Amino acid sequence: MKIIKVHKRETLVKIQKFLEKDGIKETNVGKYNIKILPDFVNFWSNIPNKLVYIAIDENENVIGTIGGVFMAHPYDIREKYFYNYFLVISPEHRNKNMGSRLVSLIEKEAKDNGMKYIITASPSELTTEFYKKYGFNYFETILIKEVI
């Protein structure tokens, strides 16, 4: 297995196929469903400050991915952070330290780029426990109101 940083649209297409293969079409953040497909490639291709890694096996198949965006805090632009939007590991490769390797890469890049925080949405108890193992803590509650 090797891990590479994503720079090309073709690699984003590989990630989308990986997500489709595993049947991942949406994620839950609280009670809200966020659609991952079908606009994954177009969405991520157009984000300027993105950071995406993939883990691939010996046959060049994607077996895991992590990605997010470098951002400035909306109320204080001196506060910079990395917002981790997704971390997906194929079921047969879970519990083999791949997630921790991917999170470690994101953490190193965040530090190297002067980010103060890494923020992530944790849609399930399983992912919450995973992130807690790596020092993530609850900080604030996000409030959202649907207006449609």
Q: Which helix (H) or strand (E) holds 65?
A: strand 62-72
How many Å is the Cα radius of gyration of the chain?
Answer: 15
- Enumerate the domain spans of the chain: 2-133
Q: How far apart are CA 11 and CA 72, in angstroms?
A: 26
97 conformational bin, left if phi > 0, alpha if psi -120 to 50, beta if neither: left
**If you average pLDDT over residues 74-84, what whole number do you get?**
78
pLDDT digits (tens, 9 = 90+) for 124-145: 677 778 888 888 887 655 445 5
pLDDT at 119 (0 to 100): 84
Q: Please check whether residue 73 is in contact with residue 60, taking contact to mean a CB–CB distance below 8 angstroms.
A: no
pLDDT at 58 (0 to 100): 92
pLDDT digits (tens, 9 = 90+) for 91-124: 888 889 999 999 999 999 999 998 888 888 766 6
pLDDT digits (tens, 9 = 90+) for 14-50: 887 887 776 655 554 444 444 555 567 777 788 888 8
Sheet holding 2-5, edge to edge: 2-5, 50-56, 62-72, 80-89, 117-120
Tell me the CATH number for domain 2-133: 3.40.630.30
H helices of the chain, in order, are 9-21, 40-45, 98-112, 125-133
The per-residue pLDDT of the chain, averaged, comes to 78
